[in-house]
Amino acid sequence: MNSISLHTSDDTLVPKILARETLDSDANGQIDTIFITASENLNDDFSSVNISVDGYTINSYSTNTANDTLFAIDLEEKNTADTDVTPDIQVISNSSL
């Protein structure tokens, strides 16, 4: 009789950003949210996430559906119209998602 052994492994791959989409949710001509699509499901624990959005201040992170590939970066609006801009995003650190 063949024996079956249990093998477990830790997920060591870091989620990657696959896509981003800017949003002006209040239609005032200023970006206030960036939606991020990740390469894998996320656990929605943003406690140790540090992301930089070039030229913007991040207010918070949010999600609508638990443990999926999507989340939002909620931004402080600028004082000028900027809906034609796609800011650079950099994940500085992430030990919790």
pLDDT in tens, 22-45: 999 999 999 999 999 999 999 998
pTM: 0.82
- pLDDT of res. 51: 94
- pLDDT of res. 15: 83
- Which is nearest to 55 in space by CA: 78, 74, 32? 78
CA distance 25 to 84: 14
Tens of pLDDT, residue by residue over 44-72, are 989 999 999 999 999 999 998 889 999 99
Q: Residues 78, 56: contact at Cβ < 8 Å? A: yes
